[in-house]
Amino acid sequence: MAAPLYTTDSGQLWHAGKILVATVGLPARGKTHLSHALERYLRWLGVKTRVFSLGDYRRKVLGRPGDLPSDYFSVGEKSAETEALRLKILEGFDETVMQFFDEEGGQVVIYDANNGQQKGRYALRERFGKKETTTGAKISIMFLEPICNDPAIIEANVRAVKISSPDYFGWDQEKAVQDFYKRIEDHEKEYETIENPSFPYIKLINVGQRIVVNNIQGYLQSRICFFLMNVHNRGRTIYLVRAGEALVEHLYKADADLSSLGWDYAEELTNFASALRRNAAESAIERAAGGDITPGGHVPGHGPGEEGRILEVWTSPRKRAAHTCAFFAERGYKVVERSQLSELNPGVVDGMTAEEIKQRYPDEWEKKFQEPYSHRFPRAESYHDLSVRIEPVIFELERATNDILIVAQSSVLRCLLAYLQGLKPHEIPYIEVHEGELIECSPTAYGVKTTRHRFWDPEAKRSERDEIFFRQQRLGNTFYDDDEDDEDDDEDDDGSATRNAAAARKEDRDAITAAKEGHLEVGVDHAGVPIQQLINTFKSTKLNANACTQGAPR
């Protein structure tokens, strides 16, 4: 598995050719959802991909259904005027697809339409299969047919997606549902499933319960097939958040534990995430009771087939990330450590400042700014390497039916956000992931809705801690007054996370004491030095000494 294998200025994999993926199926079977999920994945691979929706094109050119001839959507014979209008729309739509291939250098088009009749699929192959792009490349055509006979899933799709489309703007909800079911019945009269063994196609039956693959050829078609084996369109939410503050920041080899502030952050994150989900569920129940929400809405644990959807927490084995999840584990949430979620390895520049890197590795520093996505320092990882490493996690995310909270470092979260938002690989190093921000991602039929929730102000918290410390220092006290009885208070607490937080506060105090007693070159004259700098220096010295003793690489 590799993602992406390589990057090019054109956004094309030179060995994969041009591909048109045409959707097939009755309305409300998840074609649009699959189309946009596939587009997101291929763009993350670095392949120039776009979804073209025939319905969206028709609305753009002709307006809403009220402006169309009465027999435009009807089955069977149509008037000559209507047939001419439909042909005009189809030809214009095909032209926009070819413009993407020819003028924009596109490599994969996802042709989102019903294509429910065999003669129409043959015509589509004739139109595109015989065409050559301006570069002389042939277009390979494959079909994607989602089949669903589960009434609950169909109703969820109708209510969550279809009746909210511009076709039903201003309609009464129940009348819109009835009208759309009538449209489905009309299509069923002429619908023909794919049976031609010469066609390359993938059939997804009942949201992946059964999959049929036929005549798939080539590298990129195989990647498309493998991805589609892992997706579904059930509602779920993915949360992304950074790990808490460590005792030693910016030192990969140290694998330092959380500081006392990091433990406070972990507890606040647990409280906030739990309250966020609880409030969303309660709000959804109230809106459903008032008729303001459809059963197919993406609400935690309240859509068809997703009652009682729970939250799983995924994290890396790195101490600061794993321990940020400790309070979730205490409250009974399932916490899973995944080694692929470990932060990007900085290699030889571990622990160096920007100035130190520029002085010691000037050539590498220049290369980093020329190719920030693919460059790696000696014995380090690049963002490309990290993307390859986390691809199994992406497939696990697509398969997951529960809500997922991922706690990791910003480098990992950038790669995951790029995938979820359909960003290009070269954009990954510049994605902002702020400390104290919970990013909520909700996959929908037309993409992923992203909301950022601020639950922690790191600068204010650090300033508050420093102010308390220096005030106590001026008074001649070593420790915070409100922490004096921590050990006694925690003796009756069975929670390991709570005990670890108390231990972290004690370690902080030990570090401060060591600094004040002259174990480090930090004295009374350094009263302006922030507490975290004292802690970092003390811990870094101790951890590096331990690493040397154990023969760890330097």
Among 268, 281, 116, CA closest to 194: 116
Among 434, 431, 398, CA closest to 417: 431
As a whole number of angstroms, the distance between CA 450 and CA 308 comes to 23
As a whole number of angstroms, the distance between CA 269 and CA 256 comes to 20
Is residue 230 classed exposed, middle or buried when 0-12, 13-18 and 19+ CB atoms within 10 A define those classes?
Answer: middle
β-bridge mates for residue 437, sequence order: 454
* Element at 503 (helix H, strand E): helix 496-516
As a whole number of angstroms, the distance between CA 542 and CA 550 comes to 13
Decide if 198 contacts 16 (C-beta within 8 A). Answer: no
Please provide residue 26's backbone torsions phi and psi, each rounded to the nearest 5 degrees.
-70, 160
Report the Cα 206 to chain-centroid distance in Å: 24
As a whole number of angstroms, the distance between CA 496 and CA 507 comes to 16
Report the Cα 223 to chain-centroid distance in Å: 19
94 given a catalytic annotation: no
Neighbours of 251 (CB within 10 A): 20
**Three-class secondary structure assignment of 44-75:** HHCCCEEEEEHHHHHHHHHCCHHHCCCCCCCC
Decide if 145 contacts 203 (C-beta within 8 A). Answer: yes
Question: Which residues are within 8 A (CB) of 4 and not within 5 positions of it... i.e. 6 or more apart?
Answer: 44, 45, 46, 47, 384, 387, 425
Kindly name the residue from 9, 56, 112, 186 that is annotated as catalytic: 112
Can you read off the two tokens belonging to residue 55?
């319905």
Can you read off the two tokens belonging to residue 286?
């109230």
Decide if 14 contacts 401 (C-beta within 8 A). Answer: no
Can you read off the two tokens belonging to residue 201?
């196609």
Decide if 221 contacts 142 (C-beta within 8 A). Answer: yes
Enzyme catalytic residues:
112
